[in-house]
Amino acid sequence: MKLEMVLNISEMTIFLLLTGLGTVANTSVFVNYICTFVGSRKKSIHLILIHLAFTNIILLFSKGMPTTIAALGLRHFLGDVGCHIIVYLERVARGLSICTSSLLTVVQAIIMNPRASWWWRLRLHSTGRVLLSLFFFWILNSLISINLLHSIRNRGTSTLQLSKNNEYCYFKKESQKINSMFLTFMVLRDAVFQGIMGGASGYMVFLLHKHHQHVLYLQNSKLLYRTPPELRAAQSVLLLMLCFLFFYWTDCFVSLYLSFSLKNDSLTMHFQEFLTLGYAVLSPFMLIHRDGHLAECWHAQ
């Protein structure tokens, strides 16, 4: 009993710390880029980073705070309406995170293209196109997660046939056909957007490699060459993508382990909950750390 209490207190402390730090950092990034977006010539990449920070805040609010409160032993603090809102927002925010991150890599890859390239034309009126893309992401992820509105119940509910739960809400058993259909949609969404992310990231790596070879040639010729700001911005975006993929795939492997595990591994389950918040907490600090590079690129554009 004492060990369980210590684990609950430790979990609450860690989640509270991560949620607090992540919320403050994402709010800072959100406000900073809104001021930049409003106060200067509107740029599409500003809008994407604003949306990414907003998505992280939603995820931290919907996952971090309820889990922290549940660790205190308050299992029934959410009613059915509260469970619907919190769990639905968490699922939608996780989908928005992968879609927004994928869009960020594509836009950055377009920025890196030579001005003579036909890709450069896509930058015209790109802010409006980005707004349409973000609106589409909200509709897509809202529809993919719509089945949760029917299956979520509060832990205090006496409904029969309850199955898998998190710390504060149950999921009512659905038909296998419905579960398979929505799971297929989720897998297709993740595969498509990660494929786009991988293609755009690979192209950026190719351009960075060409730039590196060019720099080596200039150094051998004893000429000075300053790295273009858009290339330094690409390095920052690639770091964000690596961070996202690390947490995403680690979460997938841990989920598979828990699905096939015959024992109830509470330690691994807590670790998986931390993975859910990892990208939302770490990504704003990466942006803040490299903000000078990104800001220089945006002003140059």
- Give pLDDT tens digits for 243-262: 999 999 998 888 888 777 76
First-to-final CA distance of the chain: 60
**β-strands 169-172, 152-154 pairing:** antiparallel
pLDDT band at 56 (very low <50, low <70, confident <90, very high): very high
pLDDT band at 231 (very low <50, low <70, confident <90, very high): low
Least confident of 34-38, 201-205, 279-283: 34-38
H helix or E strand, kind and range, residue 40: none
pLDDT score recorded for residue 19: 87
% of the chain at pLDDT higher than 90? 24
pLDDT tens digits, 86-110: 888 988 999 999 999 999 998 888 8
pLDDT score recorded for residue 297: 47
What is the C-alpha to C-alpha distance for residues 170 and 269, in angstroms, rounded to an integer? 16
pLDDT score recorded for residue 3: 56
H helix or E strand, kind and range, residue 109: helix 80-112
Q: What is the mean pLDDT of residues 47-53?
A: 93
CB 48 within 8 A of CB 300: no
pLDDT tens digits, 120-162: 555 544 678 889 999 999 999 999 988 777 666 554 444 433 3
pLDDT score recorded for residue 84: 77
Q: How far is CA 174 from CA 150, 163, 259, in A?
A: 9, 9, 17
pLDDT score recorded for residue 200: 87
Positive or negative torsion for Cα 103, 36, 277, 57: negative
CB 237 within 8 A of CB 104: yes
pLDDT score recorded for residue 129: 84
Burial of 246-273, coded b for 16+ CB within 10 Å and e otherwise, reads ebbeebeebeeeeeeeeeeeeeeebebb
Q: What is the mean pLDDT of residues 157-175?
A: 52
pLDDT tens digits, 180-217: 788 889 999 999 999 999 998 888 888 777 766 655 55
Positive or negative torsion for Cα 113, 190, 88, 24: negative
Which of 239, 278, 228, 193 lies closest to 115, judged by CA? 228
What is the C-alpha to C-alpha distance for residues 108 and 204, in angstroms, rounded to an integer? 8
What is the C-alpha to C-alpha distance for residues 248 and 278, in angstroms, rounded to an integer? 9
Domains and CATH numbers, the chain: 2-300 (1.20.1070.10)
Q: What's 167's DSSP letter?
A: S
Six-digit token pair at 230? 């858009």
pLDDT score recorded for residue 52: 95
What is the C-alpha to C-alpha distance for residues 172 and 179, in angstroms, rounded to an integer? 11
Helices and strands in the chain, H and E counts: 10, 3
Q: What's 88's DSSP letter?
A: H
Is the pLDDT at 294 greater than 70, yes or no? no
